[in-house]
Amino acid sequence: MSSGAPQKSSPMASGAEETPGFLDTLLQDFPALLNPEDPLPWKAPGTVLSQEEVEGELAELAMGFLGSRKAPPPLAAALAHEAVSQLLQTDLSEFRKLPREEEEEEEDDDEEEKAPVTLLDAQSLAQSFFNRLWEVAGQWQKQVPLAARASQRQWLVSIHAIRNTRRKMEDRHVSLPSFNQLFGLSDPVNRAYFAVFDGHGGVDAARYAAVHVHTNAARQPELPTDPEGALREAFRRTDQMFLRKAKRERLQSGTTGVCALIAGATLHVAWLGDSQVILVQQGQVVKLMEPHRPERQDEK
């Protein structure tokens, strides 16, 4: 993945002009709320979600769906944020799904599990979330909030992925120039986030990290003042969350990870494993990091 310097944009970029037309088309294609028997326009993220996974997974659903329909990125991110925020303010107990008996026994045996995990039915939650997104789109059709129309820095981003000899692609990447809009950050610092996760033994860990690392970073109250600390905690938190999911669903994959958070004019890089970020400056490679490789003495 590579990205170039941000391009200058006018106060009202073309995305602002596209916004009303996009909302009109969306509501024409989906003229009413979904009924329980209606097919979902997206694939539910598994069968169950823990409460701590809801924000990231629903934001991922919305961004994928709106992106596939060519929504202007700031609008897609702002719509996703508003719909997720509204849903999280409701009582989610109606989606609660009781764990199977063997799962309860495993939780009892785990001394490290301080509190029971609340599991929610992913299918029902995904349907309710689409209806929430539909309602927000209907409200915004009348008056689009300024945050969804505001211009953002324009990035030149190119992405190339190779599966090699593996049966399935196990890697995932994230390109999120609209970081602030997706998480409702209103401070004057522009932020963009890019990441690559190199999966091993399956795609589950890489996909999970691609959904939750940036979500956990945005949750950290120290993000504006200490991005390094926020990214470190995001990696740690995501690892803990995936270990719980892996135990619950008997998953055995892993992933390396590297991410770049650009905040204003500052580049912050965080990584685990041997995935790398390089900076090319006037044709010259500038070394930014030391990848974690098993042959390194400190890794041994």
Q: How far apart are CA 297 and CA 300, in angstroms?
A: 5
73-76 LR contacts (CB < 8 Å, sep 24+): 73/15, 73/152, 73/177, 73/178, 74/15, 74/147, 74/148, 74/149, 74/150, 74/151, 74/152, 74/178, 74/181, 75/15, 75/18, 75/19, 75/22, 75/144, 75/148, 75/149, 76/178
**What average pLDDT does the structure give for the chain?**
89
Q: How far apart are CA 16 and CA 6, in angstroms?
A: 18
CATH 3.60.40.10 fits 152-299, yes or no: yes
pLDDT at 21 over 80: yes
pLDDT at 73 over 70: yes
With bands split at pLDDT 50, 70 and 90, how would you rate the model's confidence at 40?
very high
- What pLDDT does residue 10 have? 45
Of residues 15 and 279, more confidence is placed in: 279
Question: H or E stretch including 194?
Answer: strand 191-197
Residue 102 contacts by C-beta under 8 Å, 6 or more apart in sequence? none
Q: Name the least confident of 36-45, 111-120, 151-160, 203-212.
A: 111-120
Name the residue ranges covered by the structural domains of the chain. 17-100+115-151, 152-299
8-13 LR contacts (CB < 8 Å, sep 24+): 8/154, 9/151, 9/152, 9/153, 9/154, 10/151, 11/151, 12/149, 12/151, 13/151, 13/152, 13/154
Whether 272 contacts 256, CB under 8 Å = yes
pLDDT at 103 over 70: no
Of residues 279 and 99, more confidence is placed in: 279
Average pLDDT over residues 117-124: 93
Question: In 10 A of CB 259, how many CB atoms?
Answer: 26
For residue 92 the two structure tokens come to 């989610």
Residue 227's nearest CA partner among 259, 249, 182 is 259
Q: Which residue has the tokens 């939750």?
A: 212
List, for residues 176-233, the tens digit of each pLDDT value: 999 999 999 999 999 999 999 999 999 999 999 999 999 999 999 999 999 999 999 9
List, for residues 154-177, the tens digit of each pLDDT value: 889 999 998 888 888 999 999 999
Give phi and psi for 164, each to the nearest 5. 60, -140
Of residues 141 and 19, more confidence is placed in: 141
DSSP tag of 286: E
Whether 198 contacts 275, CB under 8 Å = yes
pLDDT at 15 over 70: no
Question: In 10 A of CB 32, how many CB atoms?
Answer: 9
Residue 261's nearest CA partner among 152, 177, 185 is 177
Question: H or E stretch including 259?
Answer: strand 257-263
> Taking the complete model, does pTM exceed 0.85, yes or no?
yes
**Cα dihedral 137, 138, 139, 140 sign:** positive
Task: Name residue 262's beta-bridge partners.
Answer: 192, 267
